[in-house]
Amino acid sequence: MNKFKFQSGTKVFCGSNCLFENKNEIIKLGKKAFIVTGKASGHKSGALSDIINILNEAEIKFEIFDKIENNPSLHNVKDGGTSCRMSGADFIIGIGGGSPLDAAKAIAILAVNDIEPIQLLKNEFTIKPLPIAAIPTTAGTGSEVTAASILTIPEYETKMSFVHEDVFPKVAFLDAKYTESMKRDIAVNTAIDAMSHAIEGYLNRTASPMSDIFALESLNIFGTCLENLCEERFDYDTREKLLYASMLAGLTIAQTGTTIAHGMGYSLTYFKDIPHGKANGLLLPEYLRYNYQVAQDRVESVLKALKLISIDEFEKTMRRLISNDINFSQEELKKYSSLAMKQKSTLKNLRTVTEEDMYKILDKSLRS
């Protein structure tokens, strides 16, 4: 058995009404809350008003910072950190998809450490971040159970992550009703993001027996949801399964991190504004073909868990869910390849990757 580490720092409550039934888990986090969310998701999902009711009833003061952008920048989290510090809050509640939850982790650090946001990337902080409660309103990020935060860095023209065990949310509440306000495209894109986490965690040099358990179980559940996703049947049971599978995929990447599908996808988001999950999804078929050459067994296990017979069938399924209508030049794809090579996660890909390999995957995925 290879050496490995297993860590999960988050207490997770799953199921209908789990937030109200376990509200003490929020109340005990502190005396004043700083609520981090986006313009829409916290409000539309109903999670924000539920939290406000709980805090009011418990006579816990709070401030709401609902300015988190999609793919939050260093500037955005700096604003949040400053507001949080000024509010005097002693704990944070993140509500939303990956953007607010990742931003909450950065803000939890910046609120109590006098550093520039760029220093987050090197974990250059000394004071323990504020504790975080997380309420996902998409079934995709997995951020509610990871210690990672992905931020957009304009200086580097990409997204980069920091990972620190002190930003594992202390508690997460997974209630599928908060994901019901997602429109079709967001539901699909975020589901693909979660599936990508499970796949990249499984086809990963740092995969362990434990991460494999989570990844395969997550993919098994996705396998039972794929047809419903394609047919846009978003019943409560499917929403709940997707939310659970997304959390399992989060537990996977909490052990392994992601690899090149994410690494390349960041450029599609940064330069072309393609939603994160869709960006990964556009690349996944070629990514699987690429890794199949060195990890046939593992790729076949992925397909088997998803109940698909081949990578071709995987690709057909992806095409039912998403399609690319954006043109990319060769120069653009060369730039993306170069940027992706700089991502630390590239080293974790099962097959050793060259820049030329990256280019070929991008070209086959986006220009064929």
Nearer to its own copies, 253 or 318 (CB): 253
Give the residue with the Cβ less far from its own copies, 157 or 166.
Answer: 166
Q: Toward its own copies, which CB reaches closer, 17 or 338?
A: 17
Quick one: tokens of 55?
């805090």
Closest CA to 357 of 290, 267, 300: 290
Q: Please count the other Cβ atoms lying within 10 Å of the Cβ belonging to residue 235.
A: 10
Q: 110, exposed or middle or buried, with CB in 10 Å at 0-12, 13-18, 19+?
A: buried
Task: Name the residue nearer to its own copies (CB basis): 151 or 225.
Answer: 225
Minimum distance of its own copies from residue 121's CB (angstroms): 21
Which of 217, 246, 295, 311 forms a contact with its own copies (CB under 8 A)? 217
**4-43 footprint of its own copies as x/- string (CB under 8 A):** xxxxxx-xxxxxxxx--xx---------------------
Which of 49, 58, 127, 209 binds its own copies (CB under 8 A)? It is 209
**Residue 307 contacts residue 216 (beta carbons within 8 Å):** no
* DSSP per residue, 100-145: HHHHHHHHHHHTTS---GGGGGGT---SPPPPEEEEESSSS--GGG
| Minimum distance, C-beta of residue 309 to its own copies, in the bound complex (Å) | 25
CB of 145 to its own copies, least distance (A): 9
Amino acid at 2: N
Our CB check for its own copies shows the closer of 196 and 211 to be 211
Amino acid at 142: G
Does 206 contact its own copies by CB under 8 A?
A: no
Both tokens of 145, joined, read 């159970």
Interacting residues of 85 by C-beta distance below 8 A, sequence separation 6+: 110, 111, 112
- Interactions with its own copies, residue window 134-193 (CB under 8 A): 165
Residue of the chain from 178, 202, 222, 244 that contacts its own copies (CB under 8 A): 244
For the chain, how long is the longest CA-to-CA vector? 59
- Rounded to a whole number of angstroms, the minimum distance from the CB of residue 250 to its own copies is 11
210-224 residues labelled b (16+ CB within 10 A) or e (exposed): bbbebbbbbbbbbbe
Does position 126 interact with its own copies (CB under 8 A)? The reply is no
The reply on whether position 241 binds its own copies by CB under 8 A is: yes
Contact 34, 62 (CB under 8 A): yes
- Judged by CB under 8 A, the stretch of 27-35, 101-109, 186-194, 236-244 that binds its own copies is 236-244
Mask: binding to its own copies, 313-332, rule CB under 8 A, as x and -? --------------------
Q: Which is nearer to its own copies, 6 or 185 (CB)?
A: 6
Minimum separation from the CB atom of position 4 to its own copies (A): 5
How many residues bind to its own copies according to rule CB under 8 A? 29
Q: Which one, of 205, 193, 194, lies nearest residue 353 by Cα? A: 205
Of the candidate residues 184, 187, 213, 283, the single one contacting its own copies (CB under 8 A): 213
Paired strand residues for 162: 149
* Beta strands at 148-153 and 158-163: parallel, antiparallel or unpaired: antiparallel
DSSP letter (8 states) at residue 92: E
Rounded Cα distance, 257 and 201, in Å: 6
Q: Which residue, 240 or 286, is less far from its own copies as judged by CB?
A: 240
Burial class (CB in 10 A: 0-12, 13-18, 19+), 186: buried
Q: Are residues 220 and 365 in contact, defined by beta-carbon separation less than 8 angstroms? A: no
Site stretch for its own copies (CB under 8 A), options 3-11, 64-72, 118-126, 292-300: 3-11
Closest CB to its own copies among 8 and 73?
Answer: 8
Minimum distance between the CB of residue 79 and its own copies, rounded to whole angstroms? 32
For its own copies, the binding residues (CB under 8 A) are 1-9, 11-18, 21-22, 165, 208-209, 213-214, 217, 237, 240-241, 244
